[in-house]
Structure 1
Amino acid sequence: MKKDNRSVIQTLTFIFQFGISMLVPIFLCSILGVWLGNLTGINWLMIPFFFMGALAGFTNIYKTVRKLYRQEEKKENHVKKD
């Protein structure tokens, strides 16, 4: 596989992973909010749970990106310079 194709595939994989990391917490927290809202009779309870899911998704993405940048910095620091 060419180097250009490999970088495109890596980029698409990262985009897909970030989308999953953002959408899953939003979906799960929204469903939990709807369920708790129906259980307690407070229908607007889904709204704060939606924002909690968005915050959780953003936190997941932030941690992943921070880890990737740290790995890249380690690779750059260990490269021999002429």
Structure 2
Amino acid sequence: MKREDKKIWRAIMMISQIGITMMTPIFLSAFIGYQLDKWLNTQYWFIIFIVLGVCAAFRSVYIITKNFYLRDLKEEEAQQKYFDDLKKQRETCSDDNERYKD
């Protein structure tokens, strides 16, 4: 499998994981809030639990995407270091060549 294909599949998995991670706490907290309102004969637990569910969902998505992009950032930093080293070597070689010309 090509590297580009792996990145595409990894992105698709990330998108589906984000969707599931967003929906699960929201629906679960909505269900709990609805059941509490029904049981206690009130109307505010649903709203409270929806807000908590949304907060939990965004926190989970933040953690997942942070870890996902951390790997990409490390790869990017390694590539940048490699190119910086090549640039330094090229500059060193060009300086040496100029010395020998004179």
Q: TM-score scaled by structure 1? A: 0.82
Q: RMSD over aligned Cα, in angstroms?
A: 1.8
Residue aligned with 1:43, SS: coil
**Alignment-mate amino acid for residue 10 of structure 1:** R
Per-residue CA shift, 1:18-73, capped at 9, x if unaligned?
00110000011001101111111113321121111011000001111122233333
- 26 and 40 in structure 1: CA distance in 2 versus 1, 3 angstrom threshold: same
What TM-score, normalized by structure 2, do the two folds share? Answer: 0.68
Greater per-residue helix proportion: 2
Structure 1, unaligned stretches of length 5 or more?
none
- The percent identity for this pair of structures is 28
CA distance in 1 between counterparts of 2:56 and 2:48 reads 12
Give the paired residue count: 82
The answer for unaligned runs of 5 or more in structure 2 is 87-102
The match for 2:17 is 17
